[in-house]
A and B are shown apart, each in its own frame.
Chain A
Amino acid sequence: MKSKLEKLKGTCVGIAGCGGLGSNCAMALARAGVGRLVIADFDVVTAANLDRQYYFLDQVGRKKVEALAENLRRVNPDIVVEAHDLHLGPDEVVRVFRDCRVIVEAFDAADMKLMIIETVSEHFPDKFIVAGSGLAGYGGNNELRTRRLGSLFICGDEQSEVSDELPPLAPRVAAVAALQANQVLEIVLDDLEPARGEDVWDE
């Protein structure tokens, strides 16, 4: 296992969005020993973000990518973090994540999730994308799952949509972020093939 984990040092993973999913997933990957992370987000840290995102009160007002890069390096000083403070559209996705073996989709809005899935499928058929879908509220541990469609993995319950009645709460958001990070490790450590024809369904 020790030699296997050495592989992580040479791995580059992209994190598209540094909110609840992205900040928690990036932190898990940094702790596991991934050598290089490419993180991208346009937003700044607010006090309201602290309910589930991996930032601290003294970072409120700072750019998320800068604050996250700092937190990742505090945990793992050897990690290389490439931080992009920008809005990700199709062109930026292609440019920013070119060197990444795996891209973690960590956006909030469903239309952005679809945008990056379509962009990566079209431009980078050899890359994996690990997306999150359905993480609002609390409870329902056993409804959280991962499904594979070729080079695309989707983690979450696939149904709980964020609303005023169903806010994103820290445990479930972090659980889905951890499922995403765990899937990244499996892709890298087990050398999964993106173009495998047969997909796996868990039911």
Chain B
Amino acid sequence: MKITVNNNEVSMAGETLSVRELLNQMNFTFPLIVVKVNGHLVKKEEYERIFVGDGDNVEAIHLISGG
């Protein structure tokens, strides 16, 4: 499948991936991340049950402590 991650087109093996699997494969390493799939915010407790597939647009930004 081909998806867009942070404005870059990437090819992944398989037809679907959970948000959790995708983040692991994309090396998003910090514990807290804002994730949107096709513009909708995905909460942390939804990472296992929301799946992305061909053509989806994923945006992920690390949240870093400090203020």
Q: Which of B34, B36, B44 has the most CB of A within 10 A?
A: B34
Contact A113 B32 (CB under 8 A): yes
* Residue numbers in A under 8 Å from B6 (CB-CB): 201
Known pairs A17-B67, A108-B67, A114-B34; A197 contacts B62 (CB<8 A): no
A159 on the interface (CB 8 Å rule)?
A: yes
Give bound CA distance, A122 to B46, whole Å.
14
Q: Which of B8-28 contact A (CB under 8 A)?
A: none
* Residue numbers in B under 8 Å from A111 (CB-CB): 32
A168 on the interface (CB 8 Å rule)?
A: yes
A14 on the interface (CB 8 Å rule)?
A: no
Contact B63 A114 (CB under 8 A): yes
Give bound CA distance, A22 to B66, whole Å.
12
In this complex, the interface size class of chain A, counting residues with CB under 8 Å from chain B, is 35 or more
Contact B7 A203 (CB under 8 A): yes
Contact A108 B66 (CB under 8 A): yes
**Which of A64-72, A91-99, A150-158 contacts the other chain?**
A150-158
Contact A117 B67 (CB under 8 A): no
B61 on the interface (CB 8 Å rule)?
A: yes
Neighbour of A110 across the interface among B7, B32, B39, CB < 8 A: B32
* Residue numbers in A under 8 Å from B44 (CB-CB): 114
For the complex of A and B, 10 pairs with smallest distance between CB atoms: A162-B66, A201-B7, A110-B32, A21-B67, A110-B63, A108-B67, A134-B64, A110-B65, A121-B41, A113-B63
Which residue numbers of B lie inside 8 Å of A, CB to CB?
Answer: 6-7, 30-32, 34, 36, 39, 41, 43-44, 59, 61-67
